[in-house]
Amino acid sequence: MDPEVERLVREERLVAAAELAASRGDARTASALFERACDFRRASEEARRAGDFARALPLALEGKDAEGAERALPDLIRDAAQSERVAFHLERRGDHLWAGRVLEGIGKRVPAARAYERAGEALRAATLLEEEGDVIGAARVLEAQARKDPGRASLHVALGSILLRYGKTDAAVRALQKVGHDAPERRAALSLLLPALDRLGLSQARVEAERELDALGGAVEVLVPSPRAAPVKTRLFGRYEVVRDVASSPSARVLECMDGVRGERVAVKIFAGYDARGGGRDALARFEREVRVLGTLDHPNIVPLRDYVPEGPALVLAWMGRGTLEHMLAAEPLTPMRAVEIAQAVLSALGEAHRVGVIHRDIKPANVLFDDAGVTRLGDFGVAHLSDLSSTATAGVIGTLGYMSPEQRDGRPATVQSDLYGVGALLWEMLTGERPEAGLGAATLRARPSGVHRDLDTHHDTLVLSFLDQDPAGRPEDAFAARRALGALAWPDTIERAAVTHVPRPKSERPSAMRLAPELDGSAIDQWLDRRVTTLPFDAATLARASVFARADHPVLQGVLRADREGRAIWLAAPRGAPLTGKLSAAQATSLREALARLHEIGETHGAVDGAHVLVDEDGAVTLAFSPPPGATSTADLDRLALARLC
């Protein structure tokens, strides 16, 4: 330090010392001295002159100098590592808006969206999340902010536009109707409301909305950004680039892919069981029948068929990013309203299928899927019977016993009412947690919806039981009548438990011990689903830790498959690959960083980010293995530091 400057500092004349250092070109010292003197604006200016943009921006904000922060931002975000550190400290001190701007500037869109959400900038957060393909996340951000600030019409317009675009028409109308008549956004809301009312067939409401819109000057265009495609590696059939394996069965393999032509995510279902001499031939016939069935159906609640590749043979289907009802039921209880919303969507799909002569015959949770916006879609028509409804379609061994109608189990013809029985079994399970056991009938069910949910009564019980009548004639007339009957009753959107707070699930039709076949490497094969699993002891600590990994729900984290209470074991997806021996690539480090961020967002840490827990397969994909509960000293910072050592 300059002697004269040092003398002024000893005399505690900090401003004079800072000004002298600045006049002599020592901007770094000047910045530090202005900061000590609490002159944050000038401290920021000198830090920027010294090229210390990581200090310049926070100091400008400390001095309420937004213009100074704006000047420092472009230079700061040229250094991604420095920017992340600055964003972290801004978050720690509660400056979420600027943390979001810094993170967005370096391309960290999802963390930026979370920061914007905490800052109350829901519109910006939702835009970033949707650009990253997280449509559900975008909608949730808007819904949460709209509950806090119900008078902010722009939130309802943005939410309505997302819901409408992704097929949730009823919910979109509810959101758009919250925009007041005197709100500046009313014209935009009406512009979106017109097509929504068209879809619902509400002609009188549409006429009134159109009249109001004309008085306001006519429709305006409301744009919502499209989700971005994810990076991919391997190409199938010259067009579909593989992202990851999703599932496999004895007859088919499903892969998540990107369509290089349309630029959208798809599921490619490759047939894998053809044998012209026996059972494989029947499986292939069912597979090709699925193509014909899907080709005749175009409905918002049916998984859309994008293409058929004969040389596979393979089906290309629209990607269902939110998984299956089976996964949903394993993860969380559903409110009665949500359960009925799902059942009505399935009934709408079946109504269209039945109209063109298609009986599905395999209604079960694994065949009810959800797209990126959470819209319910019915899939897997591979066992459907395509012909006149008057012809015989015996079930044979096709279908799933727990959801199969009595007539199908007896080998009698499947009808429209057979599919309605499957919907009733789904609805009963969603409402009570209990699946009707094959062949026992509704009278033996231990729970009732009204016995689980305080706000339901015997009218709800009677209606749902009618779907499960042993006699097909006792069930609703058709899918549309069933849908109307469900809509005629009120179903609460909350879970208010009645006196019976726990509903035991029925025992499996097959002993659990016979399900797992041990392997030499210590893992096991789940013989029902043909997947490799590892198991851990079922205890409170392991169950809680498994719950953490399940809630984080990131593809890089080792998957949690099942909590087998009867077998006293936690089932995990057997991770692919070997322990890391070298250094991580940039792409691998990014994937792991995102997985850790997901854990940190829910308030948890990993605590064991090391070569033994980071596994790499032959394609370079990484998995962060399950870890026991970390100690009290584990922090998010230590996770990030441990990851940095592997790079």
Q: Which two three-digit tokens encode residue 7?
A: 């003398």
Q: Which two three-digit tokens encode residue 152?
A: 């902010």
Query: Which 3 state secondary structure label does DSSP give 457?
Result: coil
Look at residues 408, 399, 355, 406 and name the one whose alpha carbon lies nearest to residue 381. Answer: 399
Q: Which two three-digit tokens encode residue 346?
A: 């399935």
Look at residues 305, 219, 217 and name the one whose alpha carbon lies nearest to residue 267. Answer: 305
**Contact between 421 and 405 (Cβ < 8 Å):** yes
The number of C-alpha atoms within 13 Å of 89 and in the hemisphere containing its C-beta is 12
Cβ-based neighbour number of residue 67 at 10 Å: 9
Catalytic residue among 95, 134, 259, 362: 362
**CA-to-CA dists, residue 228 to 134, 320, 321, 621, angstroms:** 10, 16, 14, 21
238 alpha carbon, distance to own chain's centre: 29
DSSP 45-74: HHHHHTT-HHHHHHHHHHTT-HHHHHHHHH
Query: Which 3 state secondary structure label does DSSP give 423?
Result: helix
Does residue 362 carry a catalytic annotation?
yes
Cβ-in-10-Å burial (0-12, 13-18, 19+) of 499 comes to exposed
What φ, ψ does residue 389 adopt, rounded to 5°?
-65, -15
Q: Sign of the C-alpha dihedral, residues 518, 521, 522, 525?
A: negative
Q: Measured between alpha carbons, how far is 90 from 135 in angstroms, rounded to an integer?
A: 27
Catalogue the active-site residues.
Answer: 362
